[in-house]
Amino acid sequence: MSGPTKPRGFALITGASNGIGLELAHLMAQRGHDLLLVARSADRLATLASGLQLEHGVTVRHLALDLAAPGAAKTLHSYCQSENLPVSILVNNAGYGDYKPVAEADAGVLGDMLQLNVVTLTELSCLFASDFKRQGFGRIGNIGSISAFQPCPGMASYGASKGYVMQFTEALHAELRGSGVTATVINPGFTDTGFNARAEMVGHSITKGAAQAKDVAQVAYEAMMAGQMNRVVGFVNRLWAQSAQFSPSRHMLLWVAQWHLRDRSKSKANSAGW
Ligand SMILES: NC(=O)c1ccc[n+]([C@@H]2O[C@H](COP(=O)([O-])OP(=O)(O)OC[C@H]3O[C@@H](n4cnc5c(N)ncnc54)[C@H](OP(=O)(O)O)[C@@H]3O)[C@@H](O)[C@H]2O)c1
């Protein structure tokens, strides 16, 4: 009896050196996918790639690249062409948040975040959707967030960037209908990864009960391979996302977010000896 057929082409995963992207790399290597792993940390990627090759017998390539740099999507796409890597799955996972009121934020950090979360994701989706359409098959998985469903005081631009990711991906999904290519937005809630440290949210009450990156990666993979349009990860997050569609609960969610922000400012003031 023959075993399961090997998946076609390479899966390109951005932000594969940590968190959800790292778990996706493990899961997809286990399922027999050849991989192209991208992030900034060259050493972590190299160690991961050789470990996955050894353990699962798949081909794993890696590229250290700052995807927040303007033109990064083109650089990555050209790399795949010049290296003859037949990509058939794109996972736009690299992204980060900044937990600060807009008036206290660093405008440069917000610009960098939007470049990564929005611009590079859009350009990569565009470049690879075109290739996938031509070849008649492919999967695009864009990692959004439940913060896409309502305005997020304290993470205003991050939430808005994920709102963009959701609307963009749903529209792309519709455009690709019937082409053999699908685009899926996966919206996780709080997940225990490096995200919280970068957003300066470690220990914050709203991160309590965070999901495990491995579980999120599993749901993301299944939704993307099944060609779903939008998948919210977790039952409670689905309720949250649905309730945010209604105006009264939207106002209540805004109030809760503002309350959390005040809570944060108070604890900062206390630690400053006020
Ligand atoms: N954790 C959560 O609570 C949560 C909830 C909802 C949605 N998400 C989304 O899930 C995705 C993955 O985040 P995570 O939670 O797994 O965070 P993470 O542990 O911080 O991982 C982020 C990954 O992105 C890479 N990355 C960051 N900046 C980059 C850049 N400029 N260029 C290239 N790669 C870059 C990082 O690698 P290097 O540092 O090596 O570059 C790392 O591999 C993000 O889109 C995030 O918005 C997270």
Q: Please report whether residue 15 resides in a domain.
A: yes
Nearest to 19 by CA among 146, 191, 150: 191
CB 158 within 8 A of CB 113: yes
CA of 211, closest atom in ligand 1: 3
**In 9-151, at which residue ranges do the beta strands (DSSP E only) sit?**
10-14, 34-39, 60-64, 87-92, 138-143
Q: CA–CA separation, 41 vs 22, rounded Å?
A: 12
DSSP state of 60: E
Q: CA–CA separation, 64 vs 37, rounded Å?
A: 8
| pTM for the model | 0.92
Q: Considering its fold, how many domains does the chain have in total?
A: 1
pLDDT tens digits, 180-192 = 999 999 999 999 9
CA of residue 64 to ligand 1 center, whole Å? 14
pLDDT tens digits, 69-78 = 999 999 999 9
- Helix 156-175 and helix 121-135: axis angle, to 10°? 10
CA of residue 1 to ligand 1 center, whole Å? 41
Q: Please report whether residue 1 resides in a domain.
A: no
pLDDT tens digits, 96-128 = 999 899 999 999 999 999 999 999 999 999 999
CA of residue 21 to ligand 1 center, whole Å? 7
Q: Please report whether residue 226 resides in a domain.
A: yes
State the CATH number of the domain containing residue 165. Answer: 3.40.50.720
CB 98 within 8 A of CB 105: yes
Q: Please report whether residue 5 resides in a domain.
A: no
Q: CA–CA separation, 102 vs 220, rounded Å?
A: 30
Q: Using DSSP, state whether 6 is helix, strand or coil.
A: coil
Which of 195, 196, 208 has the most ligand 1 atoms within 8 A of CB, as the residue to mutate?
A: 195
Burial class (CB in 10 A: 0-12, 13-18, 19+), 11: buried
Q: Please report whether residue 21 resides in a domain.
A: yes
Instruction: Quote the domain boundaries for residue 154.
Output: 10-271
Query: For the chain, what's the residue count?
Result: 274
Q: Please state the rounded mean pLDDT for residues 246-272.
A: 66
Q: Is the pLDDT of residue 272 over 50?
A: no
Q: Please report whether residue 41 resides in a domain.
A: yes
Q: Please report whether residue 84 resides in a domain.
A: yes
Q: Please report whether residue 16 resides in a domain.
A: yes
